[in-house]
């Protein structure tokens, strides 16, 4: 009205117009643009492993592929009033206020083709904690005597870079650590399992103490294992190519560093 576009208009009418419009500048969605120059190569070899291929050759019967990661800082929240169970036409009632009862890290590994799950709880994430998870896997057959065991991991501090790969290989010569591209944890199948844990166990968080949280995580893991099947992974190299072409169309030149000058007298 101040701009002379309309003589009179109500806030409700204006809001209805904006809600029906295709352009909604007040909505936003965060994303991380992939900046790894070797994104295609690193992502492609992971997709190949899911299809039981490595460097152009088929995997052998004694080669295994596992996805691994950690879910850090899982809080045990002790509700100020006990939750009320569900009833007809009523969901579970969970008290909004809570007291923090500590946090722990849940580390897990998923055998992509055998649907075998491994997991452990640690007070915090660390190199030693990750290596304990690897040992939990590698001390069991068929991994101990396997030709190769591929561990797919992201670039977290506990398993980052060539040093992490060398550490594992020094203890387990048949372990091959394969890193996802930076900002591409969605390529790691263990994240699918973590999303299930989050939905079915950790939402809402209602644990009186850390030991109850740990028991819940391990019990859920055992229950899930009884009916686990390999995930139907459908994202292929062709999909990767389409995605990269699409991202390239959004590519912009990186921001130049701006040198500030002191203009004060």
Cα–Cα distance, 265 to 260 (Å, whole number): 15
Buried-exposed string 55-87: b where 16+ CB fall within 10 A, e elsewhere: eeeebeeebbbbbbbbbeebbbbbbeeeeeeee
Residue 24 forms part of a structural domain: no
Is there a domain that residue 177 lies in? yes
Radius of gyration of the chain (CA): 24
pLDDT in tens, 106-127: 999 999 999 999 999 999 999 9
pLDDT value of residue 251 = 64
CATH number of domain containing 200: 3.30.420.10
Q: Which residues form the domain of 64?
A: 40-83+94-246
- Residue 124 falls inside a structural domain: yes
Reference 189, options 136, 236, 232, 126; nearest CA is: 232
Tens-digit pLDDT profile for residues 212-222: 999 999 999 99
Tell me if 2 is assigned to some domain.
no
Question: What is the count of structural domains for the chain?
Answer: 1
| pLDDT tens, residue by residue, 157-184 | 999 999 999 999 999 999 999 999 998 9
Q: What is the pLDDT of residues 8-27, one digit of tens each?
A: 999 899 888 888 877 777 77
In a domain, 175, yes or no: yes
For the record, the structure tokens of 219 come out as: 């019990």
Whether residue 252 is contained in a domain is answered as no
Residue 206 lies in a domain: yes
Which segments of 3-99 does DSSP mark as H helices, in order? 11-20, 39-50
Please check whether residue 64 is in contact with residue 142, taking contact to mean a CB–CB distance below 8 angstroms: yes
Considering the domain boundaries, does residue 50 fall inside one?
yes
């Amino acid at each position: 009205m101040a701009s002379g576009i309309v003589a009179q208009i109500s806030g409700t009418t204006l809001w209805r117009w904006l809600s029906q419009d295709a352009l909604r500048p007040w909505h936003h969605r965060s994303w991380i643009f992939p900046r790894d120059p070797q994104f295609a190569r690193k992502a492609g070899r992971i997709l190949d492993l899911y299809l039981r291929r490595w460097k152009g050759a088929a995997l052998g019967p004694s080669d295994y592929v596992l996805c691994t990661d950690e879910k850090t800082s899982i809080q045990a929240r002790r509700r100020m009033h006990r939750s009320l169970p569900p009833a007809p036409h009523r969901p579970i009632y969970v008290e909004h206020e809570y007291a923090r009862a500590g946090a722990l890290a849940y580390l897990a590994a998923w055998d992509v083709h055998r649907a075998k799950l491994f997991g452990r709880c640690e007070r915090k994430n660390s190199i030693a904690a990750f290596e304990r998870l690897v040992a939990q896997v590698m001390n069991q057959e068929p991994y101990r005597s396997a030709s190769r065991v591929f561990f797919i991991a992201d670039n977290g501090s506990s398993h980052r870079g060539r040093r992490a790969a060398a550490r594992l290989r020094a203890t387990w010569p048949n372990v091959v650590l394969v890193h996802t591209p930076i900002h591409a944890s969605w390529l790691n199948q263990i994240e699918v399992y973590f999303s299930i844990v989050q939905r079915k166990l950790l939402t809402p968080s209602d644990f009186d103490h850390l030991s109850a949280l740990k028991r819940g995580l391990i019990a859920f893991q055992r229950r899930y294992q009884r009916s686990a099947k390999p995930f139907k992974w459908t994202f292929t190299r062709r999909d990767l190519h389409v995605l990269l072409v699409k991202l390239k169309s959004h590519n912009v030149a990186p921001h130049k560093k701006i040198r500030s000058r002191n203009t004060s007298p």
